Amino acid sequence: PAPLRAASYNGYALAEKPPQALPGRSSADAPRCPKAAASSFESWREERTRSEEDNEMNLPGLAAAYSTILRALGEDPERQGLLKTPWRAATAMQFFTKGYQETITDVLNDAIFDEDHDEMVIVKDIDMFSMCEHHLVPFVGKVIFDFRSPFLSLSPALFSFLAAVQERLTKQIAIAITEALQPAGVGVVVEATHMCMVMRGVQKMNSKTVTSTMLGVFREDPKTREEFLTLIRS
């Protein structure tokens, strides 16, 4: 038998069994996502891994899966209050993960403008929400980003609706801004509350997780980084 792996971060169980291949299959035959985790950002940037047609085709199966979940939890999906719940939950999940239907070009929507400006541009308190890929529950918070460039994007819609972890999402935002604007540097700070920590595990109602990514001059120049951090604290 495979050994148990210890896990205690973000309220995980102390010991969880690793995923097993289905009976009659080798691990090489086990189902996999279209893109490996390491290239999840590459797929979002370059191609849409899901279409509206996929949504329509997969919706009945997704709704049936929610019916199965309700039964497994001891509920009756046929009772009046839950009759439409599997369908509602399925359509909601498709919306929560609509990042699989988009690319950076889609969300930027040509909202890039040429300005004679090469100082810091700080955009603060952008509402953000995404789905934790470990528990498939939301994490919500604020994003602050700063870039030093003659190009100014007025669109805050740089955040994918994907199954994610906050650390990777923070880096994805920084890379997206870098590729779209080609600035001298980018700094991104994300502060979020994770429902997997609030509702289960450690159950800390007021806990927040803060992550940051610095690229270009924000990583290379300590004075620039300190200026950015000082400004966002003010």
What gap in Å lies between CA 187 and CA 171, rounded to an integer? 10
Q: Which two tokens stand for residue 47?
A: 């191609």
Domain residue ranges of the chain, discontinuous segments joined by +: 52-100, 104-232
Cα–Cα distance for residue pair 134/124, rounded to 1 Å: 28
What pLDDT is attached to residue 200?
82
Q: What is the CATH number of domain 104-232?
A: 3.30.1130.10
Residue among 100, 151, 102, 107 nearest 126 (CA):
107
Confidence category of residue 130, pLDDT binned at 50, 70, 90:
confident
Taking only the tens place, the pLDDT of each residue in 29-48 is: 333 333 333 344 454 455 67
d(CA 81, CA 93): 19
pLDDT per position as a tens digit, 171-203:
888 888 887 778 888 999 999 999 888 888 777
DSSP secondary structure of 29-78:
GS---SS-GGGHHHHHHH--S--HHHHHHHHHHHHHHHHHHHHHTT--TT
CATH code assigned to 52-100: 1.10.286.10
